[in-house]
Structure 1
Amino acid sequence: MTDTKTISKRDFLRKSILTGAGAVGATTLAAPYVRAQAPIKWRLQTYAGPALADHVIKPAIDAFNKAANGEMVIELYTADQLVPQGELFRAVQAGTIDAAQSDDDSMASPVDVAVFGAYFPFASRYSLDVPVLWNWYGLKEIWEEAYGEVPGVTWLSAGAWDPCNFATTKPIRSLEDLKGLRVYTFPTGGQFISRLGVVPVTLPWEDIEVALQTGEIDGIAWCGATETYSVGWANVTKYYLTNNISGAWSGSFFANSEKWNAVPEHLKEIFKLAMDSSHYYRQHWYWWGEAHYRTTGGKLELTTIPEDEWKKVEDMALEFWGEIAAKSERNAKVVDILKNYQETMRKAGAPYRYG
C-alpha cells in the first residue's frame, strides 16, 4: 500500500506563499537587466538657432520625452551645434547624429527633389498648402520613393513653416531696388532671386546678426516676420518687404535608418505624434506671428512692390519651374502636381485664392 501524505490547508497556503515569493524574487532579479537596455538615446539637430528652436521643435521633443516614460530620450541640438548645416544629411547618414529637422535644400540631401525643400519659388501661398500637397496631392509618396533610393536615411514627415520675405537695411519699393543687395538665403531660393540681381550669401546662422550690423550683408530672405522678430534680426534691419517669394517654407524630419528601425513600434508611434504636434504648433504660431509683428512689431517699416511689377517675378518663377522639371522625371512629376494644385486653388476661389 502506497503511503500518501495529506496536505493540510495550512501547508497548502504556506507553499503557495513561498512559490509566490520566489516568482517575485525572480522578477526583481530580472528587472535590472531590463533597465540596463533603456533608455534609447538619440541626438537630434535642428536647422534652427536656439530662440527659434524653442518654438519650431522643442515643445514637441519635450512632449515626446515625457510620453516615452524613460524608454527613450532625445537630446536636442540647435543649428550648427554638432555639425554644420550643410553637412547635416551626411551626419545622419553616417550615424554621427541620429535624427534631424531641416529642409532638404540647405542640408544638402542627395536627392533630386531636394530642390523643392525650403522655399521653392511661389510653390505655396499659405502655410496650409504644404501639408495639403504632401498628404493629399501625392508628395509624401514621392519623397518616400526618393529617399528610399538613398541608403542610411529615412525621411519621416514634412510640414510648413513661415513665408519668405525680405528684411533689409535698405528700402525695397521696386524690382530695381533688389539689384546688388547681398542677402542671406537658401540655396534654391538664392538661385532664383539672383535673377532679380540679388547676390545670395551663405553664412553660419549665428553670424547673420553681426553680418547685418557690419554691412557684410544687406538683408535676409530666410523667413517671415515671426522669425525676423523672434531671433533678433528685426533689431538690426529697418525694412520688411510684404511681397514674398513663397508662402511657406517646407521642411522635414529625418532619421538614421538603422536607428529608426531599432526603435520599438510603440515609440515610433509616439514620435510620429510628436512630429504632428510640431507641425500643428508651427501652423498657428506662424499664422499668429506674421500678422502680429507686421501690425504691432514697431521695428520695421513695411514696403511693397506694386502688384503689376511683382507679376513679372511670378512669371519668372514659372520659367524656373520648367528648368527644374527638365532635370528629372520625378521633378517633372512634382512640378505637374504644383501646377495642378495652383489651378485647383484658383478655380476654388476665395478663401483658397483671391483674384
Structure 2
Amino acid sequence: MLKHFAPRVLAGAALAVTLAVTGLANAQEHKFKMATAWSGGPLTDIGAQAFADRVKETSGGRIEIEVFPSGTLGPGLKVSETVKNGVADMGHTWVGYDWGADTTAVLFGGYAGSFDSERMLHWLYRAGGAELHAQWRDEQFGLVAMPLFIRTSEVFLHSRKPVRTLEDLQGLKLRTAGAWLDISQSMGAAPVTMPGGDVYPALERGTIDATEWGTLWENLSPGFYRVTKYVIIPGVHQPTAPFELVVNKDSWAKLSEADQKLISDAAFYTTMNSWLTIGQEDAKALEVYRQEGNEIVELDAEVQIAAHNAGIAWAEKQAEGNEWFRKVLDHQKAFADLWKDANRYRNVKTE
C-alpha cells in the first residue's frame, strides 16, 4: 500500500512547491517612501521605523519602506500634504496637525476633552472609531488612513517656570499644537506652534517659557529637561494622543488586497506595542528627571478640571456648523456613555 501512496505524496508535495514558487514569482515587490513629522526618538524608533521593519519582515522582504525624517521630503507639520501630492507614498504624523484644515482632526488625535488611551484604543478598534477616521481622511483629504502609534497622557509642560495654578498660566509662552492652541489661550496662556526640532533651541534661548511634546519617557530623547527645571504633570491638554499612517491613494492601489491587509495588521501591531512600551517606560522616567535635578510639579485640581471643561466647551463650539465634527463628537459621547460605569467594575480600591 505504501508503494502506491508514496508517489501521490511526492506528486502532491511537488505541486505545493510549484504553487509556492509561482506565488512568490507573482507576488509584487514594492519600495515606498515614508515622510514623517519626527527627527528621531520613540516616534521614529517604536513608531515609523518599527512599522517599516514589521512590514518588511511579514512580507518576506517584498515591501520595503524607507523612513525619512521631518523636513526631508516636506514640512514636518504638513506630512499629509506631502503624501497627497505624491512626494511620499505614505507618512507618519499626528492627525491633529491638520486641525487648521478641519478641526475634526483633534477628535482623532486627542485634546483636553478626550478620554484616556485605553478607552481611545477601544473606541478606535472595537467601536468603529478607526472606520470613521478612514472615512473622514478619504472624504476630506483624499488619503487612506489608519491609526499608527498611540501614547499615554503627555507631560503637561517642561517649563522654565513653576506652573501649578491658573494664575501661573497667565501670559506663559508655551509651544503646543492642535486644539490646545485655542484652549490654552482662552485660559490666559500665550501659545505658539513650531516643529519638534525647533523647540529645544527656543527653550534654551528663552524664546518660549515651556513646551509640551510627548510622555515622560518620550521627552527624555529631545532633552528638554536640560534647559528647563520643572516637569509639570499630568497632561490635561492631551490625555491621549493617537498618531496615524496616511497613504497616497495611487500607492495604496498598487498593493494587492492581501498586502493591504498586511499593512493594516502591521499598523495595529505597532500601535499596540507603542502603548505597552510607553506605559512601562513612563513609569521609570520620573526618577530620571529627579536625578537630573528637575522638580516634579503636579497641577492643582482646579487647573485640571478647568482644562477638561474648557476642552468640552471648545468641542461643542466646533461642532456648530461642522457636520463631520458633530458626527465624530456624538460617536465619542455615545462610547463614553457606554463606558461610564467602567471604573466601578474594573478598578479595585486599594487604599
Quick check: 1:132 aligned with 2:122? yes
- Provide the secondary structure at the position in 2 that maps to 1:222: coil
**Structure 2 Cα separation of the partners of residues 219 and 80 of structure 1:** 23
Give the letter aligned to residue 226 of structure 1: W
Aligned match of 1:89: 80
**Structure 2 Cα separation of the partners of residues 208 and 351 of structure 1:** 42
Report the alpha carbon displacement of residue 108 of structure 1 after superposing the two structures with TM. Answer: 5.8
Give the letter aligned to residue 75 of structure 1: E
**Deviation string for 1:170-192 (max 9, x for gaps)?**
11121111111111111222111
Aligned match of 2:286: 294
Contact 1:103–1:117 (Cα < 8 Å) also in 2: no
- Provide the secondary structure at the position in 2 that maps to 1:193: helix
1:237 to 228, 242, 245: 228
Aligned match of 2:271: 279
Contact 2:165–2:302 (Cα < 8 Å) also in 1: no
| Structure 1 range deviating more: 128-137 or 253-262 | 128-137
Quick check: 1:200 aligned with 2:191? yes
**Structure 2 Cα separation of the partners of residues 130 and 322 of structure 1:** 19
1:330 to 317, 324, 327: 324
**Structure 2 Cα separation of the partners of residues 169 and 209 of structure 1:** 12
Aligned match of 1:173: 164
Cα RMSD over matched residues?
2.8
Contact 2:82–2:88 (Cα < 8 Å) also in 1: yes
Aligned match of 2:182: 191
**Structure 1 Cα separation of the partners of residues 81 and 307 of structure 2:** 34
| Structure 1 range deviating more: 302-311 or 257-266 | 302-311
Give the letter aligned to residue 33 of structure 2: R
Aligned match of 1:75: 66
Unaligned runs of 5+ in 2: 1-17
Aligned match of 1:156: 146
Unaligned runs of 5+ in 1: 1-23, 25-29
Report the alpha carbon displacement of residue 340 of structure 1 after superposing the two structures with TM. Answer: 3.1
Contact 1:162–1:249 (Cα < 8 Å) also in 2: yes
Contact 1:182–1:199 (Cα < 8 Å) also in 2: yes
Alignment TM-score, normalising by the size of structure 2:
0.83
**Structure 2 Cα separation of the partners of residues 196 and 327 of structure 1:** 24
- Provide the secondary structure at the position in 2 that maps to 1:149: helix
**Structure exhibiting the larger radius of gyration computed from Cα positions:** 1
**Deviation string for 1:84-105 (max 9, x for gaps)?**
0232112111111000111222
Output aligned runs, 1:23-34, within 5 Å.
Answer: none
**Structure 2 Cα separation of the partners of residues 351 and 303 of structure 1:** 31
| Residues 227 and 180 (structure 1), Cα distance of their counterparts in 2 relative to 1, 3 Å cut | same
Provide runs of 4+ in structure 1 moved above 6 Å: none
**Structure 2 Cα separation of the partners of residues 166 and 107 of structure 1:** 22
Quick check: 1:119 aligned with 2:80? no
Contact 1:213–1:236 (Cα < 8 Å) also in 2: yes
Report the alpha carbon displacement of residue 235 of structure 1 after superposing the two structures with TM. Answer: 1.9
Contact 1:112–1:330 (Cα < 8 Å) also in 2: no
Aligned match of 1:103: 94
- Provide the secondary structure at the position in 1 that maps to 2:212: strand
Give the letter aligned to residue 229 of structure 2: K
**Structure 2 Cα separation of the partners of residues 287 and 100 of structure 1:** 24
Aligned match of 2:4: none
Report the alpha carbon displacement of residue 109 of structure 1 after superposing the two structures with TM. Answer: 7.8
| Structure 1 range deviating more: 130-139 or 151-160 | 151-160
Report the alpha carbon displacement of residue 348 of structure 1 after superposing the two structures with TM. Answer: 2.3
